[in-house]
Chain A
Amino acid sequence: MLIEARGVTMRFGGFTAVDAVDLDVAEGRITGLIGPNGAGKSTFFNCLAGDYRPSAGSIRFAGREIAGLTPESHARLGMARTYQVPHTFTDMSVGDNVMVGAFLRHRRTADARRAADAVLERTGLAGQARHRASSLGTAGRKRLEIARALATEPKVLLLDEALAGLTATEIQAAITLVRDIHRSGITIVIVEHIMEVILSLADRVTVFHHGRIISQGTPGEVTGDPKVVEAYLGRSLERQRQRAAEASG
């Protein structure tokens, strides 16, 4: 297993957002983490990426304990991530944004430039390389976020809602990009709350609910799991009740 998480727990004050989660990510797969809002999938994701230091538990990456290491160590070890709301370096050009990532493996500017150009080409951003990053729209920024992470030459790419907020055509283009990256041999972990997308993309899906894993398996297995249905359905029922209450109140 490339990533082995055991008993990962994350508490904020008295609130337990992630409760003793075990998860394996096999090398070369696309693993999807799904669950309703507030299920703990994003918190767990941030533990994986090193943005949060888990309150308890162990995370091994390629056989090495990484829980509690800094985000920069995660990157150096070969874990790259994107953010749900892109953290674009707006003062820099699109190409320079990618350069920042490329410098992790290439000290010299010329080498980094070459590596970045390759990534820009691959992610379809080559045409905008000289534009200011602030000129990009949401889809462009999300793509740049992926390109930048890719430039760090990771073993595993962690995508945080890379598709949220995109139009249908943009989602298709993004899915193509993710598949393409996957084909080049990079393991992918993706968090999404849009189920349809993840089911078509992922090899294996893990479903979170109330901070725990309630189901794991192939997309087909998971969608057939009554617990998953209940979690999502219960949620929508609850929402309907709320709306009714608001309307009458």
Chain B
Amino acid sequence: MARFVLAVAIAIALVFPLVFSGAFYERVAALTLLYAIAASAWNLIGGYAGQVSVGHVVFFGCGAYGAAVAYSEWGLPPIAGLPLGVGAAVLLAALVGVPTLRLSGHYFTMATVALAELIRILVGNVPVLGAAVGLMGPAVPRSVWDLSFTSSLPYYYLFLAVLAGLLLFTWWMERSRMGFYLRAIKGSERAARSLGIPVGRYKLYALMLSAGFTAVAGALYLVMVGFVDPDSGVGILLSVKMLIMAALGGAGTLFGPLIGALILVPLEEISNSLLGGQGSGVTFVVYGGIILLIAVFQPGGILAMVAGWWRKS
């Protein structure tokens, strides 16, 4: 049954944009997948290992700025900056992980907030990174390698492939020793250590993996949007969004972040399209209200609710 549902979902994902077209909706679909990648990457440390980071946007920023710098400094296609961005993110994760992962619960969360804000301010003062003005990708595509398309479809399939890869990796990890260890760490660090798990090291692995994939999302963001500045690339709101999407769908589950993104991104884009033009703020009253209602009535996330129905039926 579960396999059947999955097969249908994959089929829908593949043909959806061909059937249900319209440039704007294709873009919303592509953005949904992009945020699903970021939220699924966050899920590795935040969901599985239970270390709630609200500073993940710095890894996203590594990817976005890596891609932007590849173009602005060396004239390369932005995507060529992907390894740079991912490398920087993984390195940064290793550097900040060692001191912060010792902290428990909310203190870890607050440390990540402080780090992210600190880095945002610093980025705004670094000329190579465009300082406060930001950096842009190629304004007019020079070759196909700039991956600059009018249609959102190429992005949709690119993001779909990356997301599939990430989910496949997560699926494999969930079933491997690492997956069990991370969930044990989330359950009780003390018990995990008594069972021989080197807790600090596994948390660090999870953070580095998570940071690397988040940076991939950041690089893809730059390729699609073509511009990054301190607010859009390292602003705290994006960290919160990753967390919210994962929590809404079900943190620490394979498809939770994707489901969260499937709900929140279209909700945000479409409510903004329908209501944003009034300029009355109603968009966010609706958006915030729906998040609030889901949290109150389904604290475990949407997947928990679905799982509940499943068991009942």
Contacts and interface: CB of A to CB of B under 8 A. Distances in A.
Q: Do A and B interact directly, with beta carbons closer than 8 Å? A: yes
Interface of A: 49, 51, 70-72, 74-76, 80-81, 83, 87-92, 96, 99-101, 103-104, 107, 109, 112, 148-149, 152
Contacts of A90: 187
Interface string B169-204: 000000111001101101110111111111100000
A109 B194 contact: no
A112 B176 CA distance: 10
Contacts of A80: 194-195
Contact of A109 (B176, B188, B197): B176
Nearest to B197: A72
Interface of B: 175-177, 180-181, 183-184, 186-188, 190-199, 252
Contact of B191 (A76, A87, A91): A87
B187 A91 contact: yes
B194 A89 contact: no
A96 B194 contact: no
Contacts of B184: 89, 92, 100
Nearest to A148: B195
Contacts of B192: 100
A91 B186 CA distance: 9
A56 to B, nearest CB: 23
B180 A99 contact: yes
A100 B179 CA distance: 10
A109 B175 contact: yes
B191 A89 contact: yes
Nearest to B190: A87
Contacts of B198: 72
Contacts of B195: 75, 80, 100-101, 104, 148-149, 152
Q: Sort A-B residue pairs by CB-CB distance and give the 8 closest, nearest first.
A: A75-B196, A89-B187, A87-B191, A87-B188, A104-B196, A71-B193, A100-B184, A103-B177
